[in-house]
Amino acid sequence: MNKLTDLILKLKKDKNAIILAHNYQPLEIQEIADFVGDSLELSIKAMETNAKIVVFCGVDFMVEQAKILNPDKIVLIPDYGCRCHMAHMLKPEYILKIREKYSKTPVVLYVNTLAENKVYADYIVTSANAVSVIQRIDNEVVIFGPDVNLCKYVEYRTGKKIISIPDNGHCYVHKAIHVNDILELKKVYPNACVIAHPECDLDIIKVADFVGSTSQMVKYVENCSTDTIIYATEVDIVNRFRKVSPDKKYIPACPQAICVYMKRINLEKVYRALIEGKYVIDISNKIIEKVRKAIFNTFELLGIEIDKR
Protein backbone atom coordinates (compact mmCIF):
# COMPACT_ATOMS: atom_id res chain seq x y z
CA MET A 1 0.00 0.00 0.00
CA ASN A 2 1.21 3.52 -0.75
CA LYS A 3 1.20 6.43 1.68
CA LEU A 4 -2.04 7.93 0.34
CA THR A 5 -3.83 4.60 0.72
CA ASP A 6 -2.65 4.36 4.33
CA LEU A 7 -3.91 7.88 5.03
CA ILE A 8 -7.32 7.11 3.50
CA LEU A 9 -7.72 3.94 5.54
CA LYS A 10 -6.80 5.80 8.74
CA LEU A 11 -9.16 8.70 7.97
CA LYS A 12 -11.95 6.27 7.19
CA LYS A 13 -11.57 4.69 10.61
CA ASP A 14 -11.20 7.99 12.48
CA LYS A 15 -14.26 9.55 10.85
CA ASN A 16 -16.47 6.43 10.99
CA ALA A 17 -16.72 6.45 7.20
CA ILE A 18 -17.17 3.76 4.58
CA ILE A 19 -16.11 3.80 0.95
CA LEU A 20 -18.37 2.32 -1.72
CA ALA A 21 -17.04 1.59 -5.21
CA HIS A 22 -19.03 0.62 -8.26
CA ASN A 23 -17.87 -2.36 -10.33
CA TYR A 24 -16.65 0.02 -13.08
CA GLN A 25 -14.30 1.96 -10.80
CA PRO A 26 -10.51 1.72 -11.37
CA LEU A 27 -8.64 -0.99 -9.47
CA GLU A 28 -6.99 1.44 -7.03
CA ILE A 29 -10.44 2.60 -5.88
CA GLN A 30 -11.88 -0.90 -5.63
CA GLU A 31 -8.97 -1.91 -3.44
CA ILE A 32 -9.68 0.72 -0.76
CA ALA A 33 -13.45 0.21 -0.78
CA ASP A 34 -15.41 -1.46 2.00
CA PHE A 35 -17.92 -2.71 -0.56
CA VAL A 36 -17.74 -3.10 -4.36
CA GLY A 37 -20.84 -3.85 -6.40
CA ASP A 38 -23.91 -2.60 -8.28
CA SER A 39 -25.31 0.85 -7.53
CA LEU A 40 -28.42 -0.13 -5.55
CA GLU A 41 -26.64 -3.05 -3.91
CA LEU A 42 -24.06 -0.60 -2.53
CA SER A 43 -26.69 1.79 -1.17
CA ILE A 44 -28.33 -1.09 0.69
CA LYS A 45 -24.94 -2.15 2.08
CA ALA A 46 -24.54 1.36 3.46
CA MET A 47 -27.92 1.03 5.21
CA GLU A 48 -26.62 -2.03 7.03
CA THR A 49 -23.68 -0.16 8.58
CA ASN A 50 -23.38 2.33 11.43
CA ALA A 51 -21.12 4.60 9.42
CA LYS A 52 -21.77 8.34 9.69
CA ILE A 53 -20.13 9.17 6.36
CA VAL A 54 -20.52 7.40 3.02
CA VAL A 55 -17.98 8.14 0.28
CA PHE A 56 -19.54 6.83 -2.91
CA CYS A 57 -17.14 6.27 -5.80
CA GLY A 58 -19.54 6.25 -8.72
CA VAL A 59 -21.63 8.60 -10.84
CA ASP A 60 -24.26 11.10 -9.75
CA PHE A 61 -27.45 9.01 -9.79
CA MET A 62 -25.75 6.34 -7.67
CA VAL A 63 -24.71 8.83 -5.02
CA GLU A 64 -28.19 10.36 -4.97
CA GLN A 65 -29.60 6.88 -4.47
CA ALA A 66 -27.28 6.30 -1.53
CA LYS A 67 -28.49 9.52 0.08
CA ILE A 68 -32.13 8.59 -0.51
CA LEU A 69 -31.69 5.25 1.24
CA ASN A 70 -29.39 6.72 3.91
CA PRO A 71 -30.94 10.13 4.66
CA ASP A 72 -29.33 10.39 8.11
CA LYS A 73 -25.81 9.79 6.79
CA ILE A 74 -23.46 12.31 5.18
CA VAL A 75 -23.03 11.11 1.59
CA LEU A 76 -20.08 12.39 -0.44
CA ILE A 77 -19.06 12.11 -4.09
CA PRO A 78 -15.30 12.69 -4.57
CA ASP A 79 -15.75 14.42 -7.93
CA TYR A 80 -18.87 16.47 -8.64
CA GLY A 81 -18.32 16.02 -12.37
CA CYS A 82 -19.07 12.29 -12.27
CA ARG A 83 -22.26 12.40 -14.31
CA CYS A 84 -24.14 9.52 -15.91
CA HIS A 85 -24.64 10.51 -19.53
CA MET A 86 -27.80 8.41 -19.84
CA ALA A 87 -29.40 9.61 -16.59
CA HIS A 88 -29.32 13.18 -17.89
CA MET A 89 -31.20 12.23 -21.08
CA LEU A 90 -34.47 11.89 -19.18
CA LYS A 91 -36.28 15.09 -18.13
CA PRO A 92 -39.28 15.44 -15.77
CA GLU A 93 -41.34 17.03 -18.56
CA TYR A 94 -41.00 13.85 -20.65
CA ILE A 95 -42.58 11.82 -17.85
CA LEU A 96 -45.38 14.33 -17.24
CA LYS A 97 -46.20 14.49 -20.95
CA ILE A 98 -46.38 10.70 -21.39
CA ARG A 99 -48.46 10.38 -18.21
CA GLU A 100 -51.06 12.74 -19.69
CA LYS A 101 -51.46 10.35 -22.61
CA TYR A 102 -51.29 7.12 -20.58
CA SER A 103 -52.76 8.18 -17.24
CA LYS A 104 -53.44 4.66 -15.95
CA THR A 105 -50.14 3.14 -17.08
CA PRO A 106 -47.52 2.48 -14.38
CA VAL A 107 -44.24 4.34 -14.64
CA VAL A 108 -41.16 2.22 -14.04
CA LEU A 109 -37.81 3.99 -13.94
CA TYR A 110 -34.36 2.49 -14.14
CA VAL A 111 -32.19 3.21 -11.12
CA ASN A 112 -29.86 4.98 -13.58
CA THR A 113 -32.07 8.05 -13.31
CA LEU A 114 -31.76 11.33 -11.44
CA ALA A 115 -33.80 11.85 -8.27
CA GLU A 116 -35.80 14.68 -9.88
CA ASN A 117 -37.27 12.07 -12.24
CA LYS A 118 -37.69 9.27 -9.72
CA VAL A 119 -40.34 11.25 -7.83
CA TYR A 120 -42.74 10.40 -10.70
CA ALA A 121 -42.05 6.65 -10.61
CA ASP A 122 -44.35 3.95 -9.32
CA TYR A 123 -41.46 1.49 -9.28
CA ILE A 124 -37.68 1.82 -9.53
CA VAL A 125 -35.74 -1.11 -10.95
CA THR A 126 -32.18 -2.23 -11.55
CA SER A 127 -30.80 -4.11 -14.54
CA ALA A 128 -30.80 -7.15 -12.25
CA ASN A 129 -34.52 -7.07 -11.38
CA ALA A 130 -36.21 -5.11 -14.21
CA VAL A 131 -37.60 -8.23 -15.89
CA SER A 132 -38.86 -9.72 -12.61
CA VAL A 133 -40.55 -6.49 -11.52
CA ILE A 134 -42.29 -5.81 -14.83
CA GLN A 135 -43.45 -9.44 -15.05
CA ARG A 136 -45.16 -8.95 -11.69
CA ILE A 137 -46.86 -5.64 -12.51
CA ASP A 138 -50.54 -6.25 -13.25
CA ASN A 139 -50.56 -4.30 -16.50
CA GLU A 140 -49.68 -5.31 -20.06
CA VAL A 141 -48.39 -1.83 -20.92
CA VAL A 142 -45.64 -0.12 -18.94
CA ILE A 143 -43.88 3.23 -19.28
CA PHE A 144 -40.17 2.64 -18.79
CA GLY A 145 -36.95 4.61 -19.16
CA PRO A 146 -34.44 6.02 -19.69
CA ASP A 147 -32.41 3.23 -21.36
CA VAL A 148 -34.04 2.15 -24.64
CA ASN A 149 -31.92 -1.01 -24.82
CA LEU A 150 -33.03 -2.13 -21.38
CA CYS A 151 -36.61 -1.36 -22.47
CA LYS A 152 -36.18 -3.61 -25.52
CA TYR A 153 -34.63 -6.34 -23.40
CA VAL A 154 -37.51 -6.26 -20.91
CA GLU A 155 -40.05 -6.29 -23.75
CA TYR A 156 -38.21 -9.24 -25.32
CA ARG A 157 -38.21 -11.17 -22.04
CA THR A 158 -41.71 -10.34 -20.78
CA GLY A 159 -43.81 -9.95 -23.94
CA LYS A 160 -45.32 -6.77 -22.52
CA LYS A 161 -45.59 -3.50 -24.41
CA ILE A 162 -42.95 -1.08 -23.16
CA ILE A 163 -43.31 2.64 -23.86
CA SER A 164 -39.76 3.98 -23.79
CA ILE A 165 -39.00 7.44 -22.41
CA PRO A 166 -37.09 9.08 -23.98
CA ASP A 167 -37.02 7.19 -27.28
CA ASN A 168 -33.25 7.58 -27.64
CA GLY A 169 -31.97 7.07 -24.07
CA HIS A 170 -28.77 5.05 -24.03
CA CYS A 171 -25.45 4.35 -22.35
CA TYR A 172 -22.71 5.49 -24.70
CA VAL A 173 -20.37 2.86 -23.25
CA HIS A 174 -22.63 -0.04 -24.22
CA LYS A 175 -23.50 1.59 -27.54
CA ALA A 176 -19.79 1.33 -28.43
CA ILE A 177 -20.10 -2.48 -28.40
CA HIS A 178 -21.23 -4.15 -31.65
CA VAL A 179 -22.41 -7.67 -32.31
CA ASN A 180 -20.04 -8.15 -35.25
CA ASP A 181 -17.07 -7.60 -32.92
CA ILE A 182 -18.35 -10.39 -30.69
CA LEU A 183 -18.95 -12.72 -33.63
CA GLU A 184 -15.39 -12.11 -34.84
CA LEU A 185 -14.03 -12.83 -31.36
CA LYS A 186 -16.02 -16.06 -31.28
CA LYS A 187 -14.13 -17.18 -34.39
CA VAL A 188 -10.86 -16.69 -32.52
CA TYR A 189 -12.18 -18.14 -29.24
CA PRO A 190 -14.86 -20.63 -30.33
CA ASN A 191 -15.22 -22.14 -26.86
CA ALA A 192 -15.55 -18.78 -25.11
CA CYS A 193 -18.65 -17.83 -23.17
CA VAL A 194 -20.25 -14.47 -24.05
CA ILE A 195 -21.72 -12.42 -21.20
CA ALA A 196 -23.48 -9.11 -21.71
CA HIS A 197 -25.09 -6.27 -19.81
CA PRO A 198 -28.76 -5.62 -20.73
CA GLU A 199 -27.87 -2.04 -21.71
CA CYS A 200 -26.30 -3.58 -24.84
CA ASP A 201 -28.13 -3.69 -28.17
CA LEU A 202 -30.67 -6.49 -28.52
CA ASP A 203 -28.66 -8.30 -31.22
CA ILE A 204 -25.86 -8.68 -28.67
CA ILE A 205 -28.32 -9.95 -26.07
CA LYS A 206 -29.48 -12.65 -28.49
CA VAL A 207 -25.96 -14.05 -29.04
CA ALA A 208 -24.94 -13.88 -25.37
CA ASP A 209 -24.76 -16.98 -23.18
CA PHE A 210 -25.60 -14.90 -20.12
CA VAL A 211 -27.19 -11.47 -19.64
CA GLY A 212 -27.15 -9.68 -16.31
CA SER A 213 -26.18 -6.72 -14.16
CA THR A 214 -22.55 -6.13 -13.28
CA SER A 215 -22.77 -8.06 -10.01
CA GLN A 216 -24.73 -10.87 -11.66
CA MET A 217 -21.98 -11.08 -14.26
CA VAL A 218 -19.34 -11.31 -11.53
CA LYS A 219 -21.26 -14.14 -9.85
CA TYR A 220 -21.69 -15.94 -13.17
CA VAL A 221 -17.96 -15.71 -13.93
CA GLU A 222 -17.13 -17.04 -10.47
CA ASN A 223 -19.31 -20.13 -10.92
CA CYS A 224 -19.06 -20.97 -14.63
CA SER A 225 -16.76 -23.73 -15.88
CA THR A 226 -15.74 -21.95 -19.10
CA ASP A 227 -12.14 -20.75 -18.98
CA THR A 228 -12.48 -17.94 -21.56
CA ILE A 229 -15.01 -15.12 -21.18
CA ILE A 230 -15.91 -12.49 -23.78
CA TYR A 231 -17.61 -9.70 -21.85
CA ALA A 232 -19.82 -6.96 -23.29
CA THR A 233 -19.78 -4.14 -20.78
CA GLU A 234 -17.41 -1.50 -19.35
CA VAL A 235 -13.83 -2.76 -19.44
CA ASP A 236 -12.88 -2.22 -15.79
CA ILE A 237 -15.31 -4.86 -14.55
CA VAL A 238 -12.43 -7.20 -15.39
CA ASN A 239 -10.90 -6.25 -12.02
CA ARG A 240 -13.82 -7.95 -10.26
CA PHE A 241 -13.64 -10.93 -12.59
CA ARG A 242 -9.95 -11.45 -11.86
CA LYS A 243 -10.55 -11.19 -8.15
CA VAL A 244 -13.23 -13.91 -8.00
CA SER A 245 -11.78 -16.15 -10.72
CA PRO A 246 -8.14 -15.30 -11.49
CA ASP A 247 -7.39 -18.33 -13.67
CA LYS A 248 -9.79 -17.49 -16.49
CA LYS A 249 -9.03 -15.49 -19.64
CA TYR A 250 -11.12 -12.31 -20.11
CA ILE A 251 -11.66 -10.69 -23.51
CA PRO A 252 -13.45 -7.32 -23.73
CA ALA A 253 -15.99 -7.26 -26.57
CA CYS A 254 -14.87 -3.66 -27.09
CA PRO A 255 -11.64 -2.37 -25.49
CA GLN A 256 -12.93 1.19 -26.03
CA ALA A 257 -16.02 0.60 -23.85
CA ILE A 258 -14.84 2.98 -21.13
CA CYS A 259 -16.94 5.24 -18.91
CA VAL A 260 -14.79 8.36 -18.65
CA TYR A 261 -16.97 9.68 -15.82
CA MET A 262 -16.26 6.65 -13.64
CA LYS A 263 -12.55 7.22 -14.21
CA ARG A 264 -12.62 10.77 -12.82
CA ILE A 265 -12.27 9.45 -9.28
CA ASN A 266 -8.79 8.70 -7.94
CA LEU A 267 -7.12 8.20 -4.56
CA GLU A 268 -6.31 11.90 -4.17
CA LYS A 269 -9.97 12.86 -4.64
CA VAL A 270 -11.13 10.24 -2.14
CA TYR A 271 -8.58 11.57 0.36
CA ARG A 272 -9.77 15.13 -0.22
CA ALA A 273 -13.38 14.05 0.20
CA LEU A 274 -12.59 12.62 3.62
CA ILE A 275 -10.42 15.59 4.71
CA GLU A 276 -12.62 18.40 3.39
CA GLY A 277 -16.04 16.74 3.42
CA LYS A 278 -16.64 17.34 -0.25
CA TYR A 279 -18.78 17.02 -2.19
CA VAL A 280 -21.93 16.67 -0.09
CA ILE A 281 -25.05 15.29 -1.75
CA ASP A 282 -28.10 17.17 -0.49
CA ILE A 283 -31.64 16.08 -1.43
CA SER A 284 -34.85 17.53 -0.05
CA ASN A 285 -36.91 15.45 2.36
CA LYS A 286 -39.88 15.69 0.00
CA ILE A 287 -37.94 14.06 -2.84
CA ILE A 288 -36.43 11.46 -0.53
CA GLU A 289 -39.85 10.47 0.78
CA LYS A 290 -41.38 10.08 -2.70
CA VAL A 291 -38.46 8.11 -4.15
CA ARG A 292 -38.21 5.81 -1.14
CA LYS A 293 -41.88 4.96 -1.60
CA ALA A 294 -41.23 3.83 -5.20
CA ILE A 295 -38.20 1.82 -4.12
CA PHE A 296 -40.08 0.07 -1.33
CA ASN A 297 -43.01 -0.58 -3.70
CA THR A 298 -40.51 -2.47 -5.84
CA PHE A 299 -39.11 -4.45 -2.93
CA GLU A 300 -42.64 -5.35 -1.83
CA LEU A 301 -43.52 -6.54 -5.33
CA LEU A 302 -40.43 -8.77 -5.31
CA GLY A 303 -41.16 -10.05 -1.79
CA ILE A 304 -37.94 -8.53 -0.42
CA GLU A 305 -37.92 -7.43 3.20
CA ILE A 306 -35.72 -4.47 4.02
CA ASP A 307 -35.26 -2.21 7.02
CA LYS A 308 -37.06 1.06 6.16
CA ARG A 309 -35.46 3.08 8.92
Residue-wise pLDDT for 243-298, tens only, equals 999 999 999 999 999 999 999 999 999 999 999 999 999 999 999 999 999 999 99
- CATH class of domain segment(s) 87-170+291-302: alpha beta
pTM: 0.94
**What is residue 305's predicted lDDT score, i.e. its pLDDT?**
72
**What is residue 207's predicted lDDT score, i.e. its pLDDT?**
97
Measured CA to CA, the distance from residue 248 to residue 241 in angstroms comes to 9
Low-confidence ranges of the chain (pLDDT < 50): none
Q: Which CATH superfamily is domain 3-83+262-278 in?
A: NadA-like (3.40.50.10800)
Task: Give yes or no on whether 3-83+262-278 and 87-170+291-302 have one common fold.
Answer: yes
Domain segments of the chain as ranges: 3-83+262-278, 87-170+291-302, 177-252
**What is residue 304's predicted lDDT score, i.e. its pLDDT?**
78
CATH number for region 177-252: 3.40.50.10800
